[in-house]
Structure 1
Amino acid sequence: MRPHGRSIAALAVFVVVTAIATERASAVPPTPYRSMVPSYVALGDSFSSGVGTRAYRDDGSNCQRSDAAFPVLVAERVGAELTFVACNGADIDDVVGDQLAQLDGGTRHVTVTVGGNDAGFSTVLTDCATPWWAADCGGRIDGAQAFITDVLPDRLDVLYDEMRRLAPHANVVIVGYPRLFMGEDCNAGTWFSPGEQRDLNETADLLDATTEATATSHGFDFVDPRSAFTGHAVCDDEEWVNGLSDPVSESFHPNPVGQRAYADLVDDVVG
């Protein structure tokens, strides 16, 4: 039996439409492959990059990123793919301008330590480490505390807003700073009085409290290391924080044991 004319016409239309659809489908680029491994971006300053651990990646930068730093340890524990952009000396402007570009809609985890450099904490420590007659430790501390109270919250707001905009689905963890001192100065070459150590610890407390309040207002988690580091400050029997060191850049930063302690705290939130 010969096919009906209408059937032949319909078949021809079907073949043409199918060919066009197939051609169009083949012209659409394939969806880029995205790893099922969760993405983790580590932002921030030297406390995140791992300064104090004495062994750093040869990555062509001056950021002093260490494989002993807590972001590397946390990424290994949770099975995440780490983008490690934390950098020695970074302040909020550096994080916004140089580091946030690594965030996107697929970012699953973000950690950041920042604020200490904005408050000039390294300069404060340098002045307070010298004899009282050679520097104005009290004035430096007062200036840092005023900055933390009056200026830092607005700067953190800008940073946190941008982090959420760029990584809307990420679990964002803001990480604080430990107290550095326990009331005794055992290092030759530094002259921290007990009162100065108390005031410096109070400045760290203020920085953490301010950072936590701002982080919480943005719905971010905050990791507070102060309790865990109690008994492990500079000059304690088991130091998790370096005292005066050679090179000087290693001073007053967590050592490898301190970074592992940080990793334990962050892992409890990220994991």
Structure 2
Amino acid sequence: MKKLIGIVALSLLAAGCKTSPTGRTQIALYSPQKMNEMGVASFAQMKEQQPIENNKQTNRYVRCIADKLIAQLPSQYANQEWEVVVFKENSANAFALPGGKIGVHTGLLNVAKDQHQLAAVMGHEVGHVIAEHANERVSQNSILQFGLQASDVALQMGNVEYREAIMQGLGVGAQVGVALPFSRSHESEADVIGLDLMAKAGFEPTGSVRLWENMNKLSGERQAEFLSTHPAPETRMQNLKRNMPEADILKRAAWKKGLKPACK
């Protein structure tokens, strides 16, 4: 019986092997449709629980940046209908979920000082979606916590027992322990994907470094990096700078096409 379980588990893992946009091997056990369902349900839940910013100018500004980024996504995502919501929340944060959902906190607008810096954050968050990081996280949670239970049983947003793990897998929250290095690799990968995405849209890629300089000023005392699910700001800036020459080439190519965003 143990051998049979092992064979089934290995078969599931083999079937779920994929390659990320940066060439990293992934385990993604769930279908895009299932992930979209969870993303849409999670977003609906957030809209019910959190106040929404209705200022038209703020919403136009955020939507303008989102549209420029979305236009540069692979066709399966670019042709998708995206919902962009600005939440009244003081934390400097944003997120994107499978199913075409983007959320931006008003607190982020105090840290991301211009369109380029905000595009860096939003590009990073959309990068998580197109790299299927949520699928990886939920798959990992299933393996660690659910023992590879069938997704129709374990992954139901209406099931209180599993809701927290699902939200965590979608990128809301963080698991301490074995999943930490996994999450850091996601963050670093999304930084690179987001950098290229914002550059393709014509945003100034150096805005990503300026953003993290601002974030670093706000961070105060932090945990040691190995205890954090996110790389330290200094590490992120170094990684972004290493990838800046390629991003600058993409930006110049975008400018030649007339792509010079003017979101205000």
Q: Fold match, TM over 0.5? A: no
Greater helix content = 2
Q: Greater Rg, structure 1 or structure 2?
A: 1
TM-score between the two structures when normalised by the length of structure 2? 0.28
TM-score between the two structures when normalised by the length of structure 1? 0.28
